[in-house]
Amino acid sequence: MSLIQIRKRSLAIESTFHEGGPVAAVPVKMAAACAVIRNPYAGRYEPDLMPFMAELRSLGTTLAQELVDTLGKENIEVYSKAAIVGVNGEIEHGAVWHEAGGWAMRALLGEPKAIVPANKAVANAGYRMMVPVHYIHACYVRSHFNSMEVGIQDAPRPDEILFALVMGTGGRVHSRLGGLTKDKVSVHDGQR
């Protein structure tokens, strides 16, 4: 029997045209693909989470592909991942998403080098989480430090986990604080 039993999925898309300044020629789009699944380990300690992490790879690929299809692979400049574990679970049940969600995005985006930022929590249904994003090829590109809120009003229930992937088409609309810019990334090692 599969460890992955999906109750619901969601896709949220935000388009930012301006932040009080001039309207951008092309709005920045951010999207979050979420899945709410039954937590197979809710209410008990499981010493070996590796089978769960391995099985979650297919869910990671499904959510990442939905974001690529929504935003267009060639447009994606930022990414992140998140997990909200229901109160009968533990934070480690969300940490399995680091590999399963992160590598799924990397594979579909052509192996970008920057670490995939993340956030995770154990919380009640309806919890909203701010998920940090940054540039996919170098995590120090200051213009692309941003975040997107994820959450679903009835999830996660106590015995569930909400897993999310986030991607976006650019940095902040009116970024003007200097620092490394994406056109100056030279080593392409994920850092500078």
CB 178 within 8 A of CB 140: no
Q: Tens digits of per-residue pLDDT, 1-35?
A: 799 999 999 999 999 999 999 999 999 999 999 99
Q: 132 φ, ψ to 5°?
A: -75, 145
Q: pLDDT category, 119, cuts 50, 70, 90?
A: very high
Residue 188: pLDDT above 90?
no
CB 68 within 8 A of CB 124: no
CB 36 within 8 A of CB 162: yes
> How far is residue 130 from each of residues 6, 54, 75, 82, measured CA to CA in Å?
23, 26, 22, 9
Residue 191: pLDDT above 90?
no
Q: Supply the CATH classification number for the domain 6-184.
A: 3.30.1330.110
**Residue whose C-alpha is closest to residue 101's, from 71, 81, 125:** 81
Q: Tens digits of per-residue pLDDT, 170-182?
A: 999 999 999 888 9
Phi-psi sector, 43: left (phi>0), alpha (psi -120 to 50), beta:
left
Domain boundaries along the sequence of the chain: 6-184
Q: pLDDT category, 189, cuts 50, 70, 90?
A: low
H/E element holding 188? none
